[in-house]
Structure 1
Amino acid sequence: MSMVRLASITCFAAVLVVILFAGLRSEPVPQVFNHQDWLHHAAAFAALVCSARLAFPRVQAFWMVLYCLMLALLIELGQGLLPMRTASVGDMVANITGVLIGLMVAGGINRQIATRRVADEA
């Protein structure tokens, strides 16, 4: 396994752990402005999908998106079971937005990598 691949998988694992910890802790993350949590959700799931696409390039995008959306839904449902948390449709919309952003960013990075490989081979 190459160092780049190991770093990609480590990054993905770290993002996943942070999302699970923040999403399932008993108290919500403090907010400075209204709906700041939507920004957190979108950024977290963008980072998750992007790191997943880079760590596991052979997994089809459809499955990656499906797994990430299932994780988002399970976290939201889990929050509904916690006393100081609530499940939110707005949070889920932010999660979906983050997944789509992460998919686009990962696509751009993968195109850059492919372009550099072609240039290096020439």
Structure 2
Amino acid sequence: GGVVHLMAEANPDLRYRKLWLFIGYALIALVVYLSLTSRPVHIDTGLPYQDKLLHVLAYFALTSWFLQIYHIRHHRFGWVIFFIGLGLLLEYLQGFDPKRYSEAGDMFANALGVVAAVVFSGTTWFRFILVNFERRVSR
């Protein structure tokens, strides 16, 4: 299967790869739940456009997490496409809940978070955060 194959191709430098993947899949499940629940969580930061900022941060975190684990180019590309699609799909599905609504601005914010993660993951220090964390912990 696709996911099993991707797991086998994850960054071999990660000793705790299964843990990192479990956390990553749990984060995806959390975002799916928060996106589709009829009782959305409201966080008041007092910042303008806070809703859009939270969308950017959520998809930045998700994408960054998986780009830490997968370093093979076509796998990274697959995750990027997956998260862009997930952001579009979940936002679209919100329109079917009478207590929620679908918003193009949220779709854009989700995609912007994914793109920001791709940009940051191009830097060596950002790309190897989990690898460096494991090295420090195992000393």
Please report how far the alpha carbon of residue 75 of structure 1 lies from its aligned counterpart in structure 2 after TM superposition.
Answer: 0.1
1:37 aligned onto 2:51: yes
Describe the superposition over 1:54-85 as per-residue Cα deviations: whole angstroms up to 9, x where unpaired: 22333523322111111111101110001111
Aligned to 2:89: 74
Greater alpha carbon shift after TM alignment, 62-71 vs 75-84: 62-71
* Count of aligned pairs between the two proteins: 115
Deviation at 1:106, TM superposition (A): 2.7
SS in 2 for 1:82: coil
Identity of matched residues, %: 27
Q: Give unpaired runs (5+ residues) of structure 2.
A: 1-11, 132-139
Aligned partner (choices 5, 14, 35) of residue 26 of structure 2: 14
For the 8 Å contact 1:23–1:79, the answer to whether it is kept is yes
Partner SS, residue 102 of structure 2: coil
Task: List, as ranges, runs of 4+ consecutive aligned residues in structure 1 with deviation greater than 4 Å.
Answer: 111-114
Quote how far apart the aligned CAs of 1:31 are.
4.2
Q: Distance in 2 between matches of 1:100 and 1:30?
A: 25
- Map of 1:23 onto structure 2: 35
Label 1:57 to 1:80 Cα distance change in 2 as closer, same or farther (>3 A): same
Where is the helix percentage greater, Structure 1 or Structure 2? Answer: 1
Whether the 8 Å contact between 1:8 and 1:54 is mirrored in structure 2 is no
Extract unaligned runs of 5+ from structure 1: 115-122
Aligned residues of 2:68 and 2:129 also touching (Cα < 8 A): no
Q: What are the residue-to-residue correspondences of 1:78-97 with 2, within 5 Å?
A: 78-97=93-112
The answer to whether the Cα contact below 8 Å between 2:59 and 2:113 also exists between their aligned partners in 1 is: yes
Residue 127 of structure 2 corresponds to 110
- The TM-score with structure 2 as length reference comes to 0.70
Give 2:79's aligned residue: 64
Q: Is residue 100 of structure 1 aligned with residue 115 of structure 2? A: yes
CA deviation string 1:30-75 (max 9, x = no partner)? 2424532211111110011111112233352332211111111110
**Cα RMSD after superposing both structures:** 2.5
